[in-house]
Every structure is written in C-alpha cells, then in structure tokens.
Chain A
Amino acid sequence: MNMHVTTGSNAGPNIYRYDEFDHSFVAARVAQFRDQVSRRLSGAVTEDEFKPMRLMNGLYHQLHAYMLRVAVPYGTMSAKQLHMLAHIADKYDRGYGHWTTRQNIQFNWVKLEDTADILGDLASVEMHAIQTSGNCIRNTTTDQYAGAAADELADPRPVCELIRQWSTLHPEFTYLPRKFKIAVTGSPNDRAAVKVHDIGLRMHLNDAGERGWEVLVGGGQGRTPMIAATVRDWLPEADLLAYLTAIMRVYNLTGRRDNKYKARIKILVHEMGSDAFSAAVEKEFAHAPKETLEIEARELERISAYFAAPAFQTLEAFVPGVEERKLADRAFRQWVTANTAAHRQPGYVIVNASFKPAGGIPGDATSEQMRAVADLAEQFSFGEVRVTHAQNLTLPHVRMLDLIEVYEALKEHGLAEANIGLIGDIIACPGLDYCSLATARSIPVAQQISARFADITRQQDVGPLKLNISGCINACGHHHVGHIGILGVDKKGREFYQITLGGSSANEASIGKILGPGFGADEIAGAVETVVATYLNVREQGEEFLQTYRRLGAAPFKEALYNADY
C-alpha cells in the first residue's frame, strides 16, 4: 500500500492509520469482491475460478463452512477495531472468533452472501482480509510486547508497517512458489519466533547506537521443520527493503514450483546451502536499484510517528495497594507473576488476557469477551490491544495503579487464568473439528490436558512450559517448537498422537524430536502427565523443563513413557 502516508491527528491509539489512498484502495477491493461474489452466486464463475479470488480476500472453505481470516497487521489493533470484530462475530457468525498463531482472527461460520458486507464493515475501521491466504507475503508478525517491553531496543512495528506497505499486492511477489512469512523482533529476547520463519529480522544496535538488522532466512515448520540460517549479521536499516527484495527475487526465480511440498524457501536454502544462497542474495542485492528502495530516514520517521509512545504519566513503580493485594491474595499474586510483563515505562505494566481457560478451547473468544477487552483497552491501555501468536490478547500499557481493576474485569469475563507461558497456555490449531486438512483433533486434547493441569499452583510449580498441538503435519499448532509438542495423525481411521520434546522458538531455537510410538486419544493426556512427572523428578534446582531436557536428553522420558501403562 501507499508508501507516502501522512501523519494523522493524535486522536486514538498510536497505531498506523489509513490515509486517503489506503481508504480508497480497500474500498475498491471490497467493491471488487462484492462483484466477484455476485458473479459466483449467479453462476457466472465456477468454484474453481472463484477459489483464487476468495482466497486473496481471506475466504477459505473449511470442514463445515466458509471461514474468513481477518488480518491484524503485526497483531496490533485499536479498541474500536476489536469492537468491530465482536460485531462481526454476532452479526455474521455464531458469536465467537478464534485468535490464530499469525496474530490474526478467523471466523468459522460465515455465509458467502455476507462476506462482502463483512469486508465493508472491516474497511470502515481500517481492516481487511488481504494477505491472510495464498502464495503471497502473509501478515508480518512481531513481538506482542512491541513498543512496551522493558527489554526492547526499539519498537519494531514501524518496520513491520513498512514491510506491509512494500509487500501488499507487490506485483513481483503476488504469485510466489508458496506462502511466505516474515517475523520481526526489536528485543534481544525473541518472542516473535524469528528463527522459524521464512525470513526473520532481529534488531541490533551498533556502538554508535544506530539500528541494524540481522537477517535470517529459511526457517519454518510444516512437514519439513527447519531453523533459519543467518545470511547477514548486520544490515543497515536503510537497505532493508532492497535486501528483502533481493531475497524474494532469488526465491521467486529459483524456488521450486513443481512440488508444493518442496516450494518453501527453507527447501531452497537447504538445497543450495546457506552460503550459496547468501551469495546469490548478495549478488542480487549488489545489482538492485537501491536508489528506489533505499529507506529514507524521513520516510521511516513518518511511519514511526504513528507508533509514538503514548502520553505516559510520570508514576511511581511501586504501588502499595498492588503489593498488599499480592500478599493477601494468592490468586492475584499468581496472576501477576504469570500474566503481566515488565513495561519500559515506570509505573506501567503489560497485561495478558488469557484465552486458555482450564478445559476450554484455546484461542476462542466470544463477542462479549472481545467487547470486554476492547473496553478495558479504551479505559486503561490507550485504546490499544495486541493479538499474540500464542492465541491470547495483550493490553500493552496499563498503569500499575489500575492493575487490580483490570484484573477484576478480566476475571469477570473468564480471561484471568494465571497461565501465560505455562502448561495451560496451550497453542492448538483448529484440528479436525474445523479444518479440512487436519487428520486428528487438536482442541479436545488441549482441553483434556489443561483440565488435568487446572491447578494454577501446580502449573506454576512446573514452571515455564510451552505445549503446542497440531492436528496434522502442516503444523499450524507449532508442535515442532513446543517444549512438549503433540502431533495428531490418522491411523486407519483412528486418532493417534506423537509426542516430541525439546522444541523451542526462542533465542536458542530448536526442533522437537519424536519420542517414540504415538498414543491414542484417550491416552495422550496421561502420557503428558508422565512427561511432566518425569521432569519434576529429575530437574535440578531452578531448572526449567527445556533445560532439563537439553541436559538429559530423551532417555528418562522415553523410559517413563513406554514403561507406563495407560
């Protein structure tokens, strides 16, 4: 979209706002899709002809119905936009939506005849469903704590927005060999999983305090999981788009198109070797017309102005009321420990709303919950909300003074389960309950496990533990990078679940390793209990699950699992 935006007024949250070009572009896209739907309904175009058109507007057909995936660029949205998602859930769906691992939302039950109206409603709040499907550059993702985290070097969202504008309907990159995913982090502690993306960008500062980017290429999950290779340790920020263009050109020209399972850039990097791939990119980069792609500092500054820090107050970091409540109320103390994160501004805190109730469906949000979070964002977080890749929502800028009130409101709406980053905070794909590609159900497995570990004290004793579940080899539930990963497979018409251990999407990223034969649907939760019990038995003081696994390997877990009787 338009690279030449104009800074709007300071009203509303500090996120990107459409200019005239953006408004007219999205409005034209809605009108175009309305005509395409009309032609489909009249029979003027067949389903085969219509499918690529609908996919370019985020409209899939899943196991039961049409599914619309709506883009939430880099997971940032306003309270007003979240209210609109609630409205869409009520008016056009069945009163709920589902947060995705790409920081988007999907609606599972929309009708074809309504889709153009939905896109029109989305456009009215500067949203759309472009780049949520197809072989294009998908929604760029980032740290859900961007612009708020205490450990961040700088807010990565201006660069995310720049990438969004550069990539949207880019004529060279609209029909890539396969879909393409970019993740960006501005923190040295990677919360954006940059090493398992087609391109990962990690911000660094040099001795002069200038920003540059480490460029990683060829990571990914799916049926061939790989960790990305660093092809550039330091890229000056001004060269970012020129360098990304060079990568995309090498991929577009040499990536395989004969076999969709070998078409992702990770296969190309693997087959060429990262050194040869890097050399090809550097050669392309050297010939690129950089004068047209060089990021002018003033352009990035202009985009950055949208993401200026909110008008924070000067506050004391220590709030006696909060500390007293923590001492008196264990549930509140546990919630603060698990569901809040350090803010860069003294007196403020990052608050996570957990959409992972014990025994519930990970990532499902009712319209009422959406409105509740939107209202909290308006009242307590400068009107801003984030979608996390772990399928939760984040209020990025909450005053410590307001923490108790926010906690009580979240609790009232079932969003204060104190389990962020713990075993109850399960990432799960929709699985066979909704997805036409799935081979086994994911959600019921997540429900069984989170119900077994419903005791928050027990979860916090177990400590940080990421458990991810996918219902097929496409790995939408990120099982490869779960500390405990579960992959559902079909074995002669019955569901079986393989366990992998040792995966991680953080700084020291790794792909989990399969432990052994799978478990039946009625056995898998018990098997996870055995894995956790084994960890508790063998861990050293202060050692997290992943550290224990890396120290001891799979042996003690295998022994416990395959000698146990389920």
Chain B
Amino acid sequence: MNDKTEDCSEYVVTANEVLSGDTVFRAPGRKWVRAIDEAEVLVCQDIGFVALGYAEADMRANKVMGLYLVEVSRQSGHVRPVHIRERIRALGPTVRADLSLKAQGFSVAEVVDQ
C-alpha cells in the first residue's frame, strides 16, 4: 500500500436534496447537512467511494440526488473544496453572499481564492 499521509487526499460526500434542491453534505450519523464544515471528512478516495456506496441508500430512498465525492482541504479550521466550482457550490454565489446562509460568516475572497 502507498503511504497514505503523502498520497491520500481528503473528500466529502455531496448531493442535492430532492425536495429543496439544496446542496448537502454527508455528516456523521448518516445525516445530511448544508454546512460543509459539519461534513464527515474522509481520508483517501477509496474510503470516499465506500461512503458514497452507503449514501446511495438515501438516493434510492429519494432523499437526495446527484451523489459524488468532492476533494477538500482544511484551512484555518474550515473544510474547503479544492476547486473553485465546488467552493462556490458549497458556500453560495460570490455575488449574493447576503442571500446564502452557507456564505454567512465567509468573505468572497475565502470562496474565490485558494
């Protein structure tokens, strides 16, 4: 096996809630949460795929749709997607942060810059 401290990235499981369409993240206890900071961070993609498999039960149960893994890193105590698209998806539009609960407490620069 490879040395996981060097080649393993961190992931969270994400989806959209069927009823609201909102972006949600898989949290401990098989819960779905809107705040990415509350998501369960999974070390290594293999572990992520296992978690994704478990989460599919909620897709079959019609709670969520569009499941996938998002690569994240930890910055100043926060969980942040690596790619800008996923950061905007997680935290809300950079142009109407006032309307996005997810963006409360974060500056646009935190969403955009990595």
Interface residues of A (CB under 8 A from B): 40-43, 47, 61, 63-66, 94, 109-113, 361, 432-434, 439, 441, 443-444, 447, 490, 493-495, 521
Contact = CB atoms under 8 A, between A and B. Distances in A.
Given A493-B82, A493-B83, A112 B20 contact: yes
B114 interface: yes
Interface stretch (B35-43, B48-56, B85-93): B85-93
A490 B18 CA distance: 29
A444 B22 contact: no
B21 A111 contact: yes
Given A47-B18, A493-B82, A493-B114, A64 B23 contact: yes
A444 B95 contact: yes
Interface of B: 16, 18-23, 61-62, 65-66, 82-85, 88-89, 92-96, 99-100, 112, 114
A490 B87 CA distance: 14
A94 B23 CA distance: 16
The interface centre, meaning the residue of A40, A94, A432 with most chain B CB atoms within 10 A of its CB, is: A432
B20 A494 contact: no
B95 A361 contact: yes
B95 A111 contact: no
A521 B83 CA distance: 15
Contacts of A113: 19
Contact of A494 (B84, B89, B95): B84
Contacts of B93: 64, 433-434
Nearest to A47: B65
A441 B66 CA distance: 23
A111 B88 contact: no
The interface centre, meaning the residue of B19, B22, B66, B93 with most chain A CB atoms within 10 A of its CB, is: B93
A432 B62 contact: no
B84 A493 contact: yes
A202 B32 CA distance: 54
Given A47-B65, A64-B89, A494-B84, A441 B21 contact: no
Nearest to B84: A493
Nearest to B64: A47
Nearest to A447: B95
A442 B89 CA distance: 15
A53 to B, nearest CB: 14
Given A94-B99, A361-B95, 6 more contacts: A61-B66, A63-B23, A432-B85, A432-B88, A439-B85, A443-B95
Contacts of A109: 99
